[in-house]
Amino acid sequence: MGSVRWAFRCKSWTPSRSDWLFAARCVQPEEKERIGQFVFTKDAKSAMVGRLLLRRFVCERMGIPWTEIRLERSPRGKPYLADPLKISPHCDRSWSFNISHQGDYVVLAADRGVQVGVDLMKVSMPGSSSVSEFFRIMTRQFTPHEWSVIQSAGSEREQLATFHRHWTLKESFIKAIGTGLGFNLQRVEFHLSPEPLRPGSVLRQTKMLLDEEPEEAWIFEESMLDADHHVAVAMGPPDEARSTSLASRLAPPPPPSPFTLLSFSELIASASPLTEEDPAYWESFRMKAEAPQRRREAQASA
């Protein structure tokens, strides 16, 4: 199998004490510490799931035992597997992988023989401004062609959906090439697939222009996890250091497939603990989870 598309719905996951403590034991100590520093449980859950998704993928698809996996971050924050050949000479290094979390979900996309970037966005109304003001603030992020498509989409909700669709496409490309925030987003222009994007379907007809030139080597998959969450996966030519042959660079990607929604038991099916149980880690998480209710009660009694 040459593609992996996994999703986990964090919003519907209310971890028990045993689940949270076991998850914490199965990630690297520095990641556990970083996750514990989040103020809101929503962010902590997303970060924990992201690390578990990465480790599950490396274990099950790249063939490295869970306890031997060492994940690092590039200077731009992209996760990568540290020294895979030192761990296992039989490790399949042709894989590229990436994760994204936003809204209610965390997603992982991986493919062989290509660079991969994935981005996820939930369609939502701007928090502190009107849609028109929000678009004005974001003017520099899109080309005139893209703005014409966004603003002609119909209702404000439809315009926002088209905006987020373009945004995930741009971010998936940026994440695939590992460039980060310094990249001028107006250098890339997307021409959307003429087919409507609906939950359950996967589109690959969208095309990208880079510096006004068509980039035929890049493929973009678009899908929706539900009516509110857009996902884009960018697949492009691999880094020379990772490519193994001309054939692997030119081989077409496998047929598109929708994201598979995992349960927590599936997420940790291959997991093995790396550290001892830390009961205080649950108490910290529980107190954060109960904080909103305590604030509401304090406000009601004030």
Query: 264-285, pLDDT tens digit by residue?
Result: 999 999 999 999 999 999 999 9
**Domains identified in the chain and CATH numbers:** 1-112+254-292 (3.90.470.20), 115-237 (3.90.470.20)
> What pLDDT, in 10s, does the model give residues 33-61?
999 999 999 999 999 999 999 999 999 99
CB-based burial, 156-166: b 16+ in 10 Å, e otherwise: eeebbbbbbbb
On average, the pLDDT of the chain sits at 89
pLDDT, residue 125, reads 86
Q: Is the pLDDT of residue 248 over 60?
A: no
Q: Is the pLDDT of residue 201 over 70?
A: yes
pLDDT, residue 86, reads 55
pTM check: above 0.75: yes
pLDDT classification of 240: cutoffs 50, 70, 90: low
Distance CA 226, CA 39 (A): 27
248/42: higher pLDDT: 42
> What pLDDT, in 10s, does the model give residues 72-106?
988 777 788 887 655 566 677 789 999 999 999 99
pLDDT, residue 180, reads 66
Mean pLDDT of 107-135: 92
37's torsion region: left (phi>0), alpha (psi -120 to 50) or beta?
alpha
In terms of average pLDDT, the best of 44-48, 243-247, 293-297 is 44-48
pLDDT, residue 219, reads 96
Phi, psi of 277 (to 5 degrees): -70, 140
pLDDT classification of 243: cutoffs 50, 70, 90: very low
pLDDT, residue 15, reads 96
Distance CA 244, CA 93 (A): 9
Q: Which residue has the tokens 């403590």?
A: 21
Mean pLDDT of 241-248: 43
